[in-house]
Amino acid sequence: MFDPKAIDDIANRLAGAIPPGLNNLKEDLEKNFHAILQSALSKLDLVAREEFEVQKMVLAKTRSKLEDLEKRVIEIEQRLTGKEEM
C-alpha cells in the first residue's frame, strides 16, 4: 500500500524537528511516529499511484469505446429512419 521508506522518511523528518534538548527521546519518538503513521495511513481507503494510473487508462479506453459505439448507434438509427421515410 504505502512505501515503507516514505513512512520512514516522514518519521525521520518529524523526529528531526524535535528540539535538541530532547535528543535522548528522539529514537523512541521516531519509532512512535512510524507506528502512528503506519496505523493512520492503513486505515485510509487509498490506492497506490500505480493502481490509480492503471484504472485511469482503463477508464480512458472504456470512454473511447463508448464514444465509438454511440457514433455507430447514431449512424444505424439514421440509416433505419432514412429507410422508413422512403
The predicted-structure confidence for 41-69, as pLDDT tens digits, reads as follows 778 888 888 999 999 999 999 999 999 99
pTM: 0.51
CA distance 73 to 64: 14
Contacts of 14 (CB under 8 A, 6+ apart): 29, 30, 33
